Structure 1
Amino acid sequence: MRKATILALTMLAMPAAAQERGLLLAGACQGCHGVSGGGSHGIPAIAATHRRAEFAAILRDFRENRREATVMGRIARGYSDEDIAALAAHYAARD
């Protein structure tokens, strides 16, 4: 196969891979925020967040200890920037 063809096929697969990554990572969120991301019992809702940039900034703040948290700081430290972007896209799409 030619390099250009391989590159084009790889680029087409990226959005699906990113969606799958977001769905996979969201599994860890479900224990506290609920399966739908709606939150409950004092845990904030994270679904239907149309402001992806705000969602990502909050997770980065948790990761960098710039936002006070009991558990989220420890969880967010395990996320790369790509993970955070995938989660932000996943929850922004849940309307």
Structure 2
Amino acid sequence: MKAFLGTAAATASLLLCGTVQAQTNTTDFQARAWAASCAACHGTDGKSNSAIPAIAGQDKQVLLTKLLAYKRDQLPATVMHQHAKGYTDAELDRLATHFSRQPK
């Protein structure tokens, strides 16, 4: 009986880890898909080579604060306020996380 319970616990643990990994991969994939639309201005993976600011490797909280300010019309912008309004606060948080993790 102990062997069965040990095996059952190990199997449940593996299944749970697989589920967490799958959720993480889905979350990462979604954030990367959203981030792809940022590439037109901010460059691939946020590494701009133009006058538009590079956002790769920036501090997550700084990015999120700016994105939320654009969304709430608290920061002047040409188009960023329009883009930011298309996302929930949670989605903007995920985008900020994504770009903060990109190498500069």
Same fold (TM over 0.5): yes
Unaligned runs of 5+ in 1: none
- TM-score, normalised with respect to structure 1: 0.81
In the other structure, the counterpart of 1:13 is 22
Please give the alpha-carbon distance, in whole angstroms, between the structure 1 residues aligned to 2:92 and 2:23.
16
In the other structure, the counterpart of 2:48 is 39
Larger helix share, 1 or 2: 2
CA contact (8 A) 1:39 1:46 kept: yes
CA offset digits 1:12-38 (Å, max 9, x no partner):
432222211110001110000111312
Please give the alpha-carbon distance, in whole angstroms, between the structure 2 residues aligned to 1:30 and 1:91.
11
Percent identity for Structure 1 against Structure 2: 28
Look up the equivalent residue of 2:22 and give its one-letter code.
Answer: A
Instruction: Say how many residue pairs are matched.
Output: 89
CA contact (8 A) 2:35 2:45 kept: no
Within a 5 Å distance, the mapping from 1:1-95 to structure 2 comes to: 8=16, 10-49=19-58, 51-95=59-103
Unaligned runs of 5+ in 2: 1-11
CA contact (8 A) 1:21 1:86 kept: no
Structure number with bigger Rg:
2
Report the Cα offset of residue 41 of structure 1: 2.7
Secondary structure in structure 1 of the residue aligned to 2:46: coil
Look up the equivalent residue of 2:88 and give its one-letter code.
Answer: S
* Structure 1 residue ranges, 4+ long, deviating more than 3 angstroms after superposition: 8-12
- TM-score, normalised with respect to structure 2: 0.75
CA contact (8 A) 2:45 2:99 kept: no
